[in-house]
Structure 1
Amino acid sequence: MRLFIGIPLPGEYAQIIRQIQAAWKKRLASKVSWVRPELAHVTLRFLGEVDEDKVPVIVQAMQDAARGSFAAQGGAGGFFPAVGAPRVIWIGLRQGREECAAYFEKLDGGLAQAGFSAEQKPFSPHLTVARVKAAARNDEWSGLLVDLKRDWPAFTVSHVVLWQSILKPSGPEYRRVAEVGLAGRS
């Protein structure tokens, strides 16, 4: 099973992302693979291929990391990498960054104790809007950044989800494997 842990987003985010994508699909000459808006989420930890019998220890690590629900809100966007041709177009968090980072740290430690490798990249909570397959020189990347900086709606992060990512020619499909509430801990 190809698994990842993430935060689901409210439906308003899918609507706004759909509007941004509709506006920019026509304006960019770059070859861009746009994320289906209804699949947008904040990834906390990508696990990759995992045997199904490991799901209970993953869920336990998710539960152990829970320290209460928290408020979150989208913020300005950006690109990975920060310099050079963009490969990923993303939206960051204006609110909830510290809480996401604290949850990630506890989660990553719990997963390491369960035998998973610790994450090597620095944690940066974001939601991916698109992946750039081939960047065109004269695209208006700065204009896209301005458009990503919106008044994103605030929402409460009350649970995290363990998703299975099923890769298909038409794009990935996500299946919820487990959901862990955050409000029960303090």
Structure 2
Amino acid sequence: MRLFIGIDVPQMPKILELLELIKNSGADIKLVEPYNIHITLLFLGEIRDDRLEDVKDSMKGLNFNSFNVTLKGLGAFPNLTRPRVVWVGITEGVQQLKQIRTYIYSELLKRKIRPEDEKDFVPHLTLGRVKSYSSILNLVNLINDNINTEIGKFSVNNVILFKSTLTPKGPIYDKLFEVKAIDRGGSTKPN
């Protein structure tokens, strides 16, 4: 099964507005469905079914207090010259996200599970993936116009293990397990 560990992001009017602007830019881009928007902490890729409990175990010792994440500005990976991924930036909550990721990453390695994304972790929220460079200038201009746009703030109260099933209509995400913030009435709660 294809797994990742992440944070659910509530639907926000400004994100919906930005998705619509990107869609109307004429760029050849595959947008993330609003109900699938999340922050990926670790992408595990294909994990055998018999290793699922090991993945859950790597999360069970996680202790964190709820914290705020502030979303601000559009950007692109690897850069605006050749954008492949269009994202929303995170200005508040970055350290907490990195600490949670570091803890789980270390626990996964102890169980001989190596996540696919070992590169430097830059917390962000993916809005879409560029498929071709058709009308790319419109997209780059849109990103530049919204580089400092205030998008919103939300509280992180849990970290979730998701199963991602790829379908022709896009991925379907199922919550398999979650760890709640310790100040929100629980340590771990299977879903």
TM-score (norm 2): 0.87
Task: Give CA-to-partner distance per residue, 1:135-174, whole Å, 9 cap, x none.
Answer: 1353241332433643222211110111110000011111
Contact 1:44-1:104 within 8 A present in 2 as well: yes
User: Are 1:4 and 2:4 matched, yes or no?
Assistant: yes
Check 1:166–1:148 CA distance in 2 against 1; reply closer, same or farther (3 A cut): farther
Shift of 1:69: 1.8
CA positional deviation for 1:57:
1.9
The one-letter code sitting in structure 1 at the alignment partner of 2:126 is: T
Q: Tell me, in whole angstroms, the C-alpha distance in 2 between the residues paired with 1:95 and 1:157.
A: 11
Find the aligned partners of 2:51 and 2:144 in 1 and give their Cα distance.
39
Give 2:142's aligned residue: 143
Residue-by-residue CA offset, 1:115-140 (whole Å, 9 max, x unaligned) = 11254210111110010010135324
Matches of 1:52 and 1:114, distance apart in 2: 15
**What is the identity, as a one-letter code, of the residue corresponding to 1:159?**
N
Q: Is the 8 A contact 1:71 1:95 kept in 2?
A: yes
Gaps of 5+ in 1: none
Report the counterpart of residue 174 of structure 2 in structure 1. 175
Amino acid at match of 1:129: L
1:70 maps onto 2:57 in alignment? no
CA contact (8 A) 2:14 2:152 kept: no
- Whole-Å Cα distance in 2 between the matches of residues 21 and 113 of structure 1? 39
After superposition, the C-alpha distances for 1:28-68 in whole angstroms (9 at most, x for unaligned) are 3x311011011000000000111222222212222223322
Structure 1 stretches of 4+ with a deviation exceeding 3 A read: none
> How many angstroms apart in 1 are the aligned matches of 2:133 and 2:167?
24
The CA distance in 2 between the partners of 1:176 and 1:140, in whole Å, is: 33
Counterpart Cα distance in 2 of 1:36 and 1:73: 20
Within the candidate set 115, 122, 126, 1:124 is matched to 122
Q: Distance in 1 between matches of 2:179 and 2:139?
A: 40
Aligned to 1:93: 90
Matches within 5 A, 1:77-116: 77-82=74-79, 84-116=81-113
Equivalent of 2:38, from 31, 36, 41? 41
CA distance in 1, matches of 2:83, 2:140: 9
- The CA RMSD measured in Å over matched residues stands at 1.8
CA contact (8 A) 1:89 1:129 kept: yes
Partner of 1:51: 48
The aligned residue for residue 16 of structure 2 is 18
